[in-house]
Amino acid sequence: MAPPPATQAIDVKSGAWEGIVNIDVSVLVPDYREPWNAGQPSGGSGTGFLIGKNRFLTNAHVVSNATRILIRTTNDPEPHPAKIVHIAHDCDLALIEAEDGSHFDKLKPLDFGGIPQLNTEVIAIGYPIGGDRISVTRGVVSRIDFRPYSHTSVDSHLAIQVDAAINPGNSGGPVMQEGKVVGVAFQGFSGRVAQNVGYMIPVPVIKRFLKDIEDGRYDHYVDLAASDFPIENPAQAKALGTQGEGVGVMVGDVEPQGSVGDLLKIGDVILSIDDNPVMNNGLVRFEGELMDMNEIVERKFAGDTIKLKYMRNGKKLETTVTLKRFDPYVRLGAQYNQRPRYIVNAGLVFQPLDRNLMDAHQMRDDTVNYVFDNFLTDKLYVERPEPVVLTNVLPDEVNTWITPYAHSIVDEINGVKIKSLKDVQTALAKKDKPFIEIVLLEKNRPLVLKRELAEDAHKRIMATYNILEDSYLGDE
């Protein structure tokens, strides 16, 4: 039975909304300061809804770092343990299933609608703060725009703004219009910043996620990995040869490891994507709306191609781009469901540089901040895909002179250039010299430990500082 129209009274006993469930989550927040520890237990609650046989859609942030997930329906107090089937942090969506799905067999999944029109009414349904039972709020569609998704803070996709109240706990719940799901409520502003501004993930983003996982694996978004700069200046238009037409946007930067790294150059003018003309401000008319040209790329999957027309030195050219994911940016955003990776050696703690690390350690060092902030803009990832930071020196007789060097980027160890945490392990395994020699980036002396002293101290430090494992390099 489909839920009745938004304007009618609802009898929750009818079971119409039985497929909209409360998700109760126990969480373990990883500890990036003491990466060998388990982390901080915590918990939260959100909403999810049935979209297929024992398949519940919710937000990635509802179930991130979960150690236990329980599903409850509004008319049944019984908790049903559940687990994650697929999680997509880059678009804040997750699919979960009950360990025993039989309870939900009788329920009818919710259907999806399309992109609702501006100023049309929608309702948000879920389990927000303020009570235990199901809640409904009402509003209109206020805006349709490309927006940053705050879960990772580095991904932007289409998002729809509504003025229906969206509060903590609404996350992952459906936003409905005429009985169909038109979005997943996911983020908003605190009341101190803006009033009645809530956002939902629209159907195109949801459908893309569901399609991506059809093959049993989530492959992430693909990206052109090029930055565009509008052609508003008449001299610029003249120099680039696009005079007067209002078509074409300038390429202002190209990531060498991205999809168009070998194809486009700075100063090229992108004229069209898949035959959709690109305007001078980088917008395209797509499905009747003006949207960022990246929206066309957004709908594609890894390995898909796009047709790109562009102009170089006044000559019109055409190429086919095979799209791929651009990884280097991932570490600039928050990451979840990961055990922190680290190596401890003689009290020196090595960890890969990423947003989680920066937030946990409150890094003040100029070099660390520069490398993090300019990882993409100065293409630092090309030389150093995973910068490694000496995050801590656990004081001991062996390392007492080098404790001030914590919060430095590691350049080389024992002559091995450090491009990832794995390199630290390889470099430390080199034992041909009596000293361990660690060169730090932009620090004017190497750190030196006498190998035999360091090896003795290592065991002692592990015991003193209660470290059970001296490294975790990830599941390999």
Partner 1 sequence: MKLSQISLFLVLGAATLPAQTPDAPKKQRAVAVTEGPAVALQVVQNNSLVRVNATSQPFSLHLPWQKESPSSRRGLGVVLAGNRVLVTGQMVADSTYIELELPEKGQKIPAKVVAVDYEANLALLESVPSDRQKAFFAGLKPMAVDTSARIGDTVDILQTGRVGELIKSELKIGKVLTRRYNVEGSGFLVYEANNIVRSEANSFTLPVVKNGKLVGLLLSYDSKNQVTTILPAPIIEHFLKDVADGSYGGFPSLGMELQSTLDEQYREYLGLKPDAPGVLISLVMKGGSAEKSGMKKGDILIAINGFAIDSRGDYKDPQFGALSSSHLVRGRAYVGDKVEIKVIRDGKEVTLTGELTRRKPDDYLVLPYLFDKGPRYVLMGGLLFQELSSPYLDAFGEEQRGGAILRLSHVASHPEKYEEDGRKKLVFLSLVLPTPSAQGYEKLGGQVVNKVNGKAINDLNDLADAFKSAKDAVHVIELNDFPHIIYLDTFNAERDNMRLLEGAYRIGSLKRLE
Contact between 244 and partner 1 by CB under 8 A: the answer reads: no
Can you tell me the distance from the alpha carbon of 91 to that of 220, in angstroms, rounded to the nearest whole number?
9
Contact between 232 and partner 1 by CB under 8 A: the answer reads: yes
Using CB under 8 A, which of the segments 118-126, 192-200, 237-245, 381-389 binds partner 1?
Answer: 237-245
Residue 92 is among the residues annotated as catalytic for this protein: yes
The binder of partner 1 chosen from 163, 327, 437, 456 (CB under 8 A): 437
The binder of partner 1 chosen from 99, 132, 304, 378 (CB under 8 A): 378
| Residues 265/254, Cβ–Cβ less than 8 Å | yes
Using CB under 8 A, which of the segments 144-152, 250-258, 416-424, 458-466 binds partner 1?
Answer: 250-258
Contact between 469 and partner 1 by CB under 8 A: the answer reads: no
Work out how close the CB of 151 gets to partner 1 at its nearest, in angstroms, rounded to a whole number. Answer: 21
Cα dist from 138 to 57, 111, 122, 159, 196, whole Å:
21, 19, 6, 18, 11
The binder of partner 1 chosen from 146, 286, 435, 465 (CB under 8 A): 435
Contact between 382 and partner 1 by CB under 8 A: the answer reads: no
Beta strands in 189-322 (DSSP E): 198-202, 226-229, 249-254, 269-273, 276-277, 283-286, 289-292, 305-312, 315-322
Work out how close the CB of 270 gets to partner 1 at its nearest, in angstroms, rounded to a whole number. Answer: 13
Cα dist from 256 to 36, 260, 302, 304, whole Å:
35, 8, 18, 19
Which of the residues 92, 212, 223, 292 is marked catalytic? 92
- 195 phi/psi in degrees, rounded to 5: -100, 145
Can you tell me the distance from the alpha carbon of 278 to that of 309, in angstroms, rounded to the nearest whole number?
10
Which of the residues 45, 171, 272, 408 is marked catalytic? 171
Work out how close the CB of 369 gets to partner 1 at its nearest, in angstroms, rounded to a whole number. Answer: 6
Contact between 358 and partner 1 by CB under 8 A: the answer reads: no
DSSP 223: B
Work out how close the CB of 280 gets to partner 1 at its nearest, in angstroms, rounded to a whole number. Answer: 9
Can you tell me the distance from the alpha carbon of 280 to that of 97, in angstroms, rounded to the nearest whole number?
46
How buried is 26 (Cβ within 10 angstroms: 0-12 exposed, 13-18 middle, 19+ buried)?
middle
Can you tell me the distance from the alpha carbon of 195 to that of 149, in angstroms, rounded to the nearest whole number?
19
DSSP 329: G
Contact between 235 and partner 1 by CB under 8 A: the answer reads: yes
Closest by Cα among 289, 281, 290, 275 to 246 = 281
Q: How many residues does the chain have?
A: 476
Can you tell me the distance from the alpha carbon of 151 to that of 156, in angstroms, rounded to the nearest whole number?
10
Number of residues binding to partner 1, judged by CB under 8 A: 37
Contact between 363 and partner 1 by CB under 8 A: the answer reads: no
Work out how close the CB of 57 gets to partner 1 at its nearest, in angstroms, rounded to a whole number. Answer: 36
Contact between 448 and partner 1 by CB under 8 A: the answer reads: yes
Work out how close the CB of 113 gets to partner 1 at its nearest, in angstroms, rounded to a whole number. Answer: 37
Closest by Cα among 261, 242, 247, 252 to 315 = 242
Tell me, residue by residue from 186 to 225, as one string, x for binding to partner 1 by CB under 8 A and - for no binding: ----------------------------------------
Q: Which is nearer to partner 1, 63 or 249 (CB)?
A: 249
Using CB under 8 A, which of the segments 18-26, 80-88, 151-159, 235-243 binds partner 1?
Answer: 235-243
| Residues 343/470, Cβ–Cβ less than 8 Å | yes
The binder of partner 1 chosen from 450, 455, 456, 473 (CB under 8 A): 450
Applying CB under 8 A, the residues found at the interface with partner 1 are 227, 229-236, 238-240, 250, 252-253, 266-267, 366-367, 369-370, 373-374, 377-378, 398, 401-402, 435, 437, 442, 444-445, 448-450, 453
- Which residues form the catalytic set? 61, 92, 171
